[in-house]
Structures are given as C-alpha cells and as structure tokens.
Homo-oligomer: A and B are copies of this chain.
Amino acid sequence: MAVYTDIGEDELDRLVSEYDIGQVLACTGIAEGVENSNFMLQTDVGMHILTLYEKRVDPADLPFFLGLLDHLSTRGFPCPSPLRTRAGQTLSSAAGRPAAIVSFLRGRWPRKPKPVHLAALGDALARLHLGAADFPLRRANALSLDGWSDLVRQTGSGADTVMPGLSEELDREMVTLRAAWPGDLPVGVIHADLFPDNIFFLGDELSGVIDFYFACNDILLYDLAICLNAWCFERDGAFNITHARAMLQAYRERRPISRAEFDALPLLARGAALRFLVTRLYDWLNTPDGALVIKKDPLEYWHKLRFHRGVADTRAYGLDY
C-alpha cells in the first residue's frame, strides 16, 4: 500500500511552482501501488499524478523510466506523460526524494478481465514494443537469469518452509532455464510487470497503461509470457485458454511473430513464472510481520510454473503458428 512519504503544503507549493500548471487545489494520497508514494494532484489546469520515488527505485534508472514514458506518449501510446518544469526537466525533487508529475489517465483496471480486455492487452503490448523500438536509452533486466539465481541462492532452504522440496525444485528449474534460455529472439523495451492493475479501461476501450518501473530491455515475447501468467489463470488455478488466445492473436496481428518466438513461449512462460515465484518467495521470507504490506503467495506462481512445464507446445495456449 502506498504513500510512504507525506509532503507538506509549503514543499508541495514549491514543487508545483516549478511547473506551468497553476495552483494546487487538492492533493490526495493513493492507496494502490507498493513501490512509491503516489498522490492525485489537482491544480488549476486539471488532474495529475505526483510520484515521490522511494528507496526501491534506483534514481539512476529514472531518466530511463521518465524518458520512456515521454517517448511513448509522444507517439500516441496511452501511458502517463511526464510534465516538464519550466526549465524543461521531467525529474524534480520534493520531501528529500526524486519526484515527477505525470498526466492523470482515466479508466479503471479490470477486476474480472474478459476476452475483450485480453485482446486490448495484446494489442497494447505490441504497440508498446513497436513504439519503443527507437527509444535510445537502455536498461538491463535485473530480474532475468542471473537475478533469479541470486534470489534462489538468497532464499536457500527457506523455500522449504513454504513448501517442502521447493528449494531443490528451484535449483533444478534454474539449470533447465539456463541451458535452454533463448539467446537469438528479438529484443527491445518491455514493460515486464503488466498485471491487470496496471492497465485501465473505460468500458471495453483501453485508456491507459501505467507503472513502468520494471521496464527494461529483454526478449519481447517474455512480456507476453509475463502476461500469460498474470492474466490467463483463474483464481482456482485453471488456465483460461480463451484469454490466452485473445491476447496472443491480437499481439501478432499488430506485430507478427517468428516461428522461433512462437515456439519459445512455453519456456519463456516458465521463466516468467519463476521470476515472480522467487521475488514473492524472497518477500515472503524477508518481510517483517509488522510491515504495512500484504504479502503475496509465492506458491501461486509455483503452480503456474508447473502448468507450463507440462504443456507440449505453444498450441496449448490456444493458437497454431
């Protein structure tokens, strides 16, 4: 839950005066989000989002994140658009933290996604990948093979307290993924965290994609693999093939995929499942009980990983090449 940092009225007025957006009319802390402190900031010219970057975000990454939002929004992609100060900067500071003000996007995230949402998601992912193709900055994915290995090592036998035998399973999975992880698929900027609460709709129309703070350069299809896990399983763990088909079909209508990309999807989905399994596991084992954070179940992603292990090929996700 967000709003870790409060911001005093003098400090807020000073920050807002750097921009050409008039006076502050209201500033309300937002409950959603876990990484940063976010506020709905109403000024004379309209509604914005003010973000104070907390310690989980590396300040050195902010030019990449804000530059990407600027790049994509300039190309018509429905992501938050960073406002510029009168000095032309998208990054400022307030309350001792890096700060940015971005445009407010209307819409609500879908609590019960339907195929129409999945198709919009697939199309948006392809537009994001295509739109960022000429974005000049780069950011390595800290949560790829080496990052997963580090987390597996750090959680160690603690994994077995969550599920007996999990530690050995993770070691074995890492061996498989390292050996088979593709090195020749198209790469580019990916969102890398496009869960349902990061995408807004007005009715059936996609109105916004938010929360780019895991965006990085990696295999483009890995973004789809993350979404397969985040959007295509029911609460009871059942795989929703209709959702998967709608997303994948819409993606490749906008951005055609190669046979190699198509074939790699089950393996990429295993990797994507492992990625959230090990970060959740780490948080599960290392978050103090009294912390104001809801811990997410790591085993949800263990079950997803096992599903992808068991599929014969990408046709299990609802479409032929």
Contact = CB atoms under 8 A, between A and B. Distances in A.
A161 B95 CA distance: 36
A108 B30 contact: no
Interface in A1-32: 1-3, 6, 8-10, 12, 24-32
Contacts of A201: 9
Contacts of A108: 9, 12, 24, 26-27
A200 B8 CA distance: 13
Interface stretch (A242-250, A269-277, A287-295): A287-295
Protomer copies: 2
Contact of A111 (B8, B26, B40): B8
A180 interface: no
Nearest to A112: B8
Contact of A26 (B9, B24, B107): B107
A192 B105 CA distance: 37
A86 B289 CA distance: 46
A75 interface: no
Nearest to A295: B290
A8 B108 CA distance: 9
A202 interface: yes
A312 to B, nearest CB: 36
Contacts of A42: 47, 106
A111 B11 CA distance: 11
Contacts of A115: none
A12 B12 CA distance: 32
22 contacts: A1-B1, A1-B292, A2-B31, A3-B32, A9-B110, A9-B111, A9-B201, A10-B112, A25-B106, A26-B105, A26-B107, A26-B108, A28-B30, A28-B40, A29-B31, A30-B31, A42-B47, A42-B106, A289-B289, A289-B290, A290-B290, A292-B294
